[in-house]
């Protein structure tokens, strides 16, 4: 059955258009047509968008938890289902469930749970993000340094063994042999630098070995200074790498984010939430490594005062990008969909409203509040 989404401002190409409609059939977009096209009037089902915005569904490459579940604490398909549901109400239609530094057995369970979820076609799970444990104690954030290690060959094989989805690994390039980074990339993992105390030269060596991204730019990494560019300087200078950013007004000052946008080529900065279980849940607290962590006034910190992920959802990140950074909604939308899809190598299927793409959408009203989402053509 064909469904038409019409009477909205639809993000097609560079900007929103109010003179087109989207035709979907099953899980795919089959056409973007003129609003007065005969296909619109003849569709079996029509959705009137009421003048709201229709954009590609948001893709979040860093989701630690949601809906009350934390992936580290519950490494199974039920947890992933809960996390997807918790974030979908905020426009996220694709995610990488993210495992914070943990024991090898927990990592193996997380990879297996992700494999099972994708095989079962759980909507919204695109792969896994292993954030650590191959990171630097000096930039550990809320991670448990007792879990940190250098992976041997067997662990590399396990960490890169997901065979039906994307694997993203965040590591500190100065802590991992360059040959190991090359092997991860050869095993089809995407490798990002994060939680790193690396010097500029060490980060550059990591980029040369296959690092293509930076996890939550500015946070938990060596800063840019005049005589010591650090990880941030390497990230901003490198034209080919992508940078995830947390736009919540807490993790990074808006001016610093504007500097990153000015330094990087367009399309190389994308939004992440680094979300914890309180997103999509009424409970502001959760347990990590045996410690109870609570969000206070929307800011998540551990007992030591370190930021411990965020209470940010993706539609709020999009609104913040408009309101704090001064970007047009169309560009903020691309930072939440098109650009992360490109970083993850999925932009042939996700991140655009165009014929042949998966029918993943988010519909926002005039106040930029989510009215509905679609994943594979199925409305929530």
| pLDDT of 187 strictly over 90 | yes
Q: Which two tokens stand for residue 18?
A: 């109010």
170 labeled part of a ligand binding site: no
Distances, alpha carbon 79 to alpha carbons 65, 69, 95, 110, 248, in Å: 8, 6, 13, 10, 25
Q: How confident is the model at residue 44 (pLDDT cuts 50, 70, 90)?
A: confident
List the domain boundaries for the chain.
Answer: 2-55+354-379, 58-343
Are 194 and 216 in contact by the 8 Å Cβ rule? The answer is yes
How does pLDDT run across 69-120, given as a tens digit for each residue? 999 999 999 999 999 999 999 999 999 999 999 999 999 999 999 999 999 9
pLDDT of residue 306: 87
Stated pTM of the model: 0.98
CATH 1.10.10.10 for domain 58-343, yes or no, is: no
Q: How confident is the model at residue 167 (pLDDT cuts 50, 70, 90)?
A: very high
Fold match between domain 2-55+354-379 and domain 58-343: no
Backbone angles phi, psi at 144, to 5 degrees: -85, 110
Are 278 and 69 in contact by the 8 Å Cβ rule? The answer is no
How does pLDDT run across 239-286, given as a tens digit for each residue? 999 999 999 999 999 999 999 999 999 999 999 999 999 999 999 999
| pLDDT of 159 strictly over 90 | yes
142 labeled part of a ligand binding site: yes
Q: How confident is the model at residue 317 (pLDDT cuts 50, 70, 90)?
A: very high
73 labeled part of a ligand binding site: no
Are 90 and 320 in contact by the 8 Å Cβ rule? The answer is no
216 labeled part of a ligand binding site: yes
Beta bridge partners of 47: 5
The SS3 call for residue 349 is coil
pLDDT of residue 378: 96
DSSP states of 188-212: T-EEEE-SB---HHHHHHHHHHT--
Catalytic residue list: 274
Percentage of residues of the chain with pLDDT beyond 70: 100
227 labeled part of a ligand binding site: yes
pLDDT of residue 330: 98
Q: How confident is the model at residue 129 (pLDDT cuts 50, 70, 90)?
A: very high
Contacts of 105 by beta carbon, 8 Å cutoff, 6+ apart: none
| pLDDT of 212 strictly over 90 | yes
pLDDT of residue 305: 86
pLDDT of residue 1: 82
Measured between alpha carbons, how far is 42 from 38 in angstroms, rounded to an integer? 6
352 labeled part of a ligand binding site: no
Right CATH for 2-55+354-379 from 2.130.10.10, 2.30.40.10, 3.30.70.1560, 1.10.760.10: 2.30.40.10
């Amino acid at each position: 059955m064909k469904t038409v989404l019409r009477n909205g401002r639809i993000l097609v190409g560079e900007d929103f258009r109010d003179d087109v409609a989207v035709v979907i059939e099953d899980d795919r977009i089959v056409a973007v047509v003129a609003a007065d096209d005969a296909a619109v009037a003849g569709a079996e089902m029509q959705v009137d968008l009421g003048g709201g915005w229709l954009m590609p569904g948001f893709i979040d490459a860093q989701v630690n938890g949601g809906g009350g579940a934390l992936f580290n604490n519950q490494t199974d398909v039920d947890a992933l289902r809960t996390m997807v549901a918790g974030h979908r109400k905020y426009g996220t239609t694709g995610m990488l469930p993210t495992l914070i530094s943990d024991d090898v057995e927990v990592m193996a369970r997380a990879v297996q749970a992700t494999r099972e979820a994708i095989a079962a076609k759980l909507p919204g799970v695109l792969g896994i993000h292993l954030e650590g444990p191959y990171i630097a104690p000096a930039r550990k954030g809320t991670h448990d340094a007792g879990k940190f290690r250098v992976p041997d060959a067997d662990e590399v094989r396990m960490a890169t063994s997901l065979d039906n989805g994307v694997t993203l690994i965040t590591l500190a390039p100065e802590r991992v042999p360059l040959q190991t980074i090359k092997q991860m990339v050869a095993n089809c993992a995407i490798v990002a630098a994060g939680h790193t105390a690396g010097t500029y030269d060490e980060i550059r060596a990591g980029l040369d070995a296959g690092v293509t991204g930076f996890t939550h730019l500015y946070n938990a990494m060596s800063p840019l200074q005049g005589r010591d560019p650090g990880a941030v300087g390497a990230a901003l200078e490198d034209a080919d790498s992508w940078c995830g950013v947390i736009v919540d007004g807490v993790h990074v000052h808006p001016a610093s984010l504007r500097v990153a946008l000015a330094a990087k080529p367009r399309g190389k900065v994308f939004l992440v939430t680094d979300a914890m279980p309180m997103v999509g849940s009424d409970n502001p607290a959760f347990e990590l490594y045996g410690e109870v962590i609570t969000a206070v006034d929307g800011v998540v910190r551990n007992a030591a005062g370190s930021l411990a992920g965020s209470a940010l959802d993706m539609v709020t990140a999009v609104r913040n990008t408009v309101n704090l950074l001064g970007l047009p909604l169309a560009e903020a939308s691309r930072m939440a969909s098109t650009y992360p899809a490109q970083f993850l190598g999925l932009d042939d299927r996700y991140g655009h409203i165009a014929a042949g793409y998966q029918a993943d959408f988010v519909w926002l009203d005039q106040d930029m509040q989510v009215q509905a989402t679609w994943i594979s053509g199925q409305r929530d």
